[in-house]
Structure 1
């Protein structure tokens, strides 16, 4: 009996940055399909591409929720299978809030259930999960900015400074705000500096909860990433590990990697899989783990229940995450788990920056030798998507990233800040 072929895939991607293009590239490599992006303005990462159809809506880059949802529903009315891919916390929040009407329009949404997404992005829940698994957790104080200042400021006495300050719930409500001095993550050397930062955020109108945490010490190379896909049966069918070599240190990009050494780490991979199981997570994930340089203990710092900005590094390791998702969500196939075991380098910034920002001589020598054996992979450089303007943008972006790094992080530090 001959099976009816499924309709062509139509990935619909929310965003304009390198993570958006990387996802389109991975879909194209796996299935040969073109993606659609929906955004308020054009950006070089997705412009002049032969594998992306760009839909720009809104006036002057302004794109409200109502217009976005209407546009997405209009786009879904096709003969292709629409797959909706949010990349930023605010886009995940939008999709979760309008999930029922988007699914009614025909969208495949490869996110966990709404309650699991909420739990996974709650840093307090993550601390509880890590404690239950016997993993170390950092001392954390919750500062509820809707309460009286005296209440949340008193808790800072528990913190050993320097400290890290960030939103408790993944930055969704926080990310919708726009104010001078806004950052994804703040650092404070003293309690007075922490109070100043929290007061600024409170003054910007944020009434949610910020977390103040003891800092896990270590430069960029002590940070690891686990990116993958867990299917509807709870099986991690694709996962790849990467060691961050150099992060992006501009205020709006903190927490994103510029260079990743793709290499398996079974111990940290096991930790990531245990956290995923404890959260009952489904769909794409990106998990940040940092090893404290003083103790050697690994701390799970963040769980993102979505495609990560640098997730193309998984393909460098030999794992195409879109294949895992399509097999599960669309074809109903239980794949044999695949672990990224091909060593390589993902580089969104010029890879020779390794010579300046990697202090460990043995690691630096190994990375230079690896680059000679296997050239680094730039997510925007796709040989099936040639265009002179794209080529020019890629190198201009490299130069700008290098210039910003020199300005914001002139030399490596023990804290990576």
Structure 2
């Protein structure tokens, strides 16, 4: 790769290299800048407004139509460019499950150049596939929705007829799902009848989609029943120790077809039962690094049931930083061992954490994280979580990850203004479903 004029200072002590171009990518770059004052290099196909014109992002797109091996070679060449003769440390992160899969599968080629803060590829695959995740939950006695794994064209009709509708259909392998195209495709499908399910499976079969899909009981309740928890685990004395957990209650989700299930507002909270369940899973797997678990409060029995685990920080992980815990410091100070790059601040600040019985530090500072205008959010507040959000807005304890004071470019703020306006149009076209 030819050398290009770089906005990364030659004096910068390390460089975060981020695969992706979504809100999670931008949040990572902002967190690295806030903690260490560094510029991150973002590697993606087509630049977009989320990551363009930023004060702390340099874009290094890969060539259009690049295959997997081409992308790996692009990263290796980029590493040689950024590392230079001094061998400056580089940290490689992915914003989607597919990125993490790709990074870990090509670890042998990438690790001489980059620090890779993920477990081995086999461990990542074990949790990235949702059918494996539910098998783990079953074995450990962890509450989860009733689930059936289905392969289009191979599952017996009699098996489908035993399902109770409505059901939720979603991919077992999120990375494989991004590669398939068919009419009416959504990130997650709510299916009302056996006939509708069969029609959807027929579409998958016609599209030659052979990966398993998950057909799962629908747990009633709106967006305010959704939950998520982020964990950080490391090896201590040869065993997995979950050192940090940060829990959140979803206030509102995006309901447009390809963004369905993505949270747009979260209130930080504490649920020790979910922390215990997630800790048990990570210890069973032998996990290291960050992971995020999605869950939902079942109003029928008051139990929070686990849905899936992502082998990375989630798209909306900035809720952690908003509450006082910047997660990227774990990458730099624990994985890279660089404790000399920031002021001597607590890595896990005592004022926003409390200790659980097993030694896990649990984030315990309430704040509202939101990516939509407050005036829009107020129209969609329900239940106790909605009341918390209303109170936090009144107290001005809200954080939007896009609103960084470091950003100065007028095009950046024009994009943010357009993004906020677009949420109004989106929620008019795709309003949240109740129940």
Task: Report whether the alignment pairs 1:154 with 2:177.
Answer: no
Contact kept? 1:38, 1:55, Cα under 8 Å: yes
Is the 1:111–1:282 Cα contact (8 Å) retained in structure 2? yes
Gaps of 5+ in 2: 1-10, 340-345, 349-359
Residues 1:17 and 2:22 are matched in the alignment: yes
CA distance in 2: counterparts of 1:8 and 1:232, whole angstroms: 26
Match of 1:38 in 2: 43
Q: Name the CA shift for 1:43/1:7 in 2 (closer, same or farther; >3 Å).
A: closer
Local SS of the residue matching 1:371? helix
136-145 or 310-319: bigger deviation: 136-145
Superposition CA RMSD, Å: 2.1
Structure 1 residue 338, shift from structure 2 partner? 4.1
- Aligned partners of 2:231 and 2:246 also within 8 Å: yes
For residues 381-400 of structure 1, give each alpha carbon's deviation from its aligned partner in whole angstroms, at most 9, with x where no partner exists.
11122222111111211111
Gap change, CA 1:139 and 1:264, over 3 Å in 2: closer
Pairing 1:1-400 to 2, within 5 Å after superposition: 8-59=13-64, 62-77=65-80, 78=83, 79-104=87-112, 106-145=113-152, 148=154, 151-169=155-173, 171-233=174-236, 234-331=240-337, 338-360=361-383, 363-400=385-422
Q: State whether residues 251 and 381 of structure 2, in contact with CA within 8 Å, keep that contact through their aligned partners in structure 1.
A: yes
Deviations 1:288-320 (A, max 9, x none): 011112221221001001121001111112111
User: Does the Cα contact within 8 Å between 2:14 and 2:89 map onto a contact in 1?
Assistant: yes
Q: Distance in 2 between matches of 1:302 and 1:352?
A: 31
Structure 2 Cα separation of the partners of residues 261 and 253 of structure 1: 20
1:276 CA drift (Å):
1.8
* Number of positions where the alignment pairs a residue of Structure 1 with one of Structure 2: 400
Q: Distance in 2 between matches of 1:33 and 1:332?
A: 14
Query: 1:237·1:324 contact (CA, 8 Å) conserved in 2?
Result: no
- With structure 1 as the length reference, what TM-score do the two structures score? 0.90
189-198 or 49-58, larger mean C-alpha shift: 49-58
Change over 3 Å in CA distance of 1:264–1:352 after alignment to 2: farther
Distance 1:363 1:144, change over 3 A: closer
User: For the Cα contact (< 8 Å) 1:237–1:335, is it kept in 2?
Assistant: no
Q: 1:195 to 1:412 in 2, by over 3 A?
A: closer
Cα 1:140–1:152 shift into 2, 3 Å? farther
SS class of match (2:398): coil
Quick check: 2:250–2:385 contact (8 Å CA) kept in 1? no
CA–CA separation in structure 2 for the residues paired with 1:353 and 1:295: 31
Identify if the C-alpha distance between structure 1 residues 236 and 36 changes in structure 2 by more than 3 Å, giving closer, same or farther: same
Query: Aligned to 1:44, what secondary structure does the other structure show?
Result: coil
